[in-house]
Amino acid sequence: MAEQLLKTPILDPEEIIKLIPQKPPFVMVDRLYDYTALTGITGFLVPKENILVDDEDVFSEPGLIEHMAQSMSLHRGYQGYISGLEKPKTGFIGAIKSVQIFRLPKVGEKLTTHVEILHEVMKVTLVIAKTFDEKEQVIATSEMKTVTVD
């Protein structure tokens, strides 16, 4: 079992923003529950004012995909923080190998996403993500490559 490197969860959204390159209104993570070198667990309470929430208060497919990508970004940001970096590195989705969305969450739902790094070569990381709802049902999965640019 990998060493847990996060002593207490980070539950303050303002602290989370310091760990990711994304800034409001394009922030899709607000908690970090767990961190090891290769895994992380993030959270997100879907707010009504989120730019990827539709007119029917549903968090859209692009929003859910971006949440999974930002979960990886948060993992990478915390890694940088404990390594002494001054600011989070910028990255982007390089390729999406697969995405399955079983259900779209609504405003007010709490999402929990597990990310796992499968492989890393230079600045390209292959990661899988699984997003769960409050009933611990999987609502989405993805496998994507993220690229760090600085």
Burial class (CB in 10 A: 0-12, 13-18, 19+), 142: buried
* pTM recorded for the entire structure: 0.95
148: Cα separation from own chain's centroid: 15
The values of phi and psi at residue 63, to 5°, are: -65, -45
Per-residue pLDDT reduced to its tens digit, 104-140: 999 999 999 999 999 999 999 999 999 999 999 999 9
What average pLDDT does range 36-56 have in this prediction? Answer: 97
Domains of the chain: 13-148 (3.10.129.10)
The CA-atom distances, in angstroms, between 132 and each of 9, 30, 97 are 18, 15, 20
Cα four-point dihedral sign 98, 102, 103, 109:
negative
